[in-house]
Amino acid sequence: MRKLIKSSLSVALAALMSVSMLSHAGEAVAEEGSSGVSYNIGYMSEYWYRGVYQAESSVSFGADMEMGSMYIGTWMADVDQGIEYDFYAGYNFELMGIPMYAGYTGYFYSDNFDGDYQELNIGGDFGFMSVDAAVNGVYDSVDSTSKAITSQGYQHYTITVPGLMLGMPIDYSYQTFTGELTGFTHELSYGTTVSGVDVGLTLGRNSDDSTAADDRPQDKDTTYANFTLGYSF
């Protein structure tokens, strides 16, 4: 997922809503009926995704291909230990006049930074709010000693209220895990474009029961902020 501009997962939802979600993470770039290839580069002063710390600072690169209503892409970024590389694909459509998407996203990491996350995604823009759901998710982690693989099932939901509905240029999102992963996050985000460069600010607060952050308990129940830059071509 393009987490810089990639919306919290959702690559596709970002495209449908034309909203700059500074979240991660999971977020395509195609408008329905368009076609072509695009690229993006970005920088995050701190990399947080779904309320989980990833890196002190991070540089990212992504590529997307649009084929009518279908999209496919990849996104990668440096994390505290190694590289994150994501793959996603999906389809944009309308249901009763509501822009929606359905697709797949996989998150993978080098150097044993984290296990693999794979999930199905569906979301829609209802105007007064947008909903992004990661369903049927599977998290595979590898024990560093025994090399045994443990699989956990999860879901993740993001509800975003655009700033215009709040009477201010700041979006609010509530994000939560369910299933065998737990934890929730509140985020406020602001995005604008300056001379073709996407600029964003995010302020977030995560919960103290985030199992996705078990490796860094000091980053639970904490407030975080980051600054992002992105450019697409």
Q: Are residues 53 and 216 in contact, defined by beta-carbon separation less than 8 angstroms?
A: yes
Q: Please tell me the predicted confidence (pLDDT) of residue 22.
A: 33
Angle at 49 between CA 149 and CA 232, to 5 degrees: 115
| CATH code for the part of the protein at 11-232 | 2.40.160.40
Whole-number pLDDT of residue 2: 38
- pLDDT at residue 34 in the model: 62
Residue pointed to by tokens 């939802």: 13
Q: Which residues contact 58 (CB under 8 A, 6 or more apart)?
A: 43, 44, 46, 47, 77, 78, 79
CA distance 211 to 47: 18
Instruction: Return the structure tokens found at 64.
Output: 């997307």
What distance in Å separates the CA atoms of residue 53 and residue 51, rounded to the nearest whole number? 7
Tens digit of each residue's pLDDT, the chain (233 residues): 333 334 433 333 333 333 333 334 344 333 445 679 999 999 999 999 999 999 999 999 999 999 999 999 999 999 999 999 999 999 999 999 999 999 999 999 999 899 999 999 999 999 999 999 999 999 998 877 777 889 999 999 999 999 876 677 899 999 999 999 999 999 999 999 999 999 999 999 999 988 766 777 788 899 999 999 999 99
Residue ranges of domains in the chain: 11-232
| Alpha carbons 211 and 68: distance in angstroms, whole number | 39
Q: What residue has token string 């693999």?
A: 116
| Model pLDDT, residue 82 | 94
The sign one gets for the Cα dihedral 117, 122, 127, 130 is negative
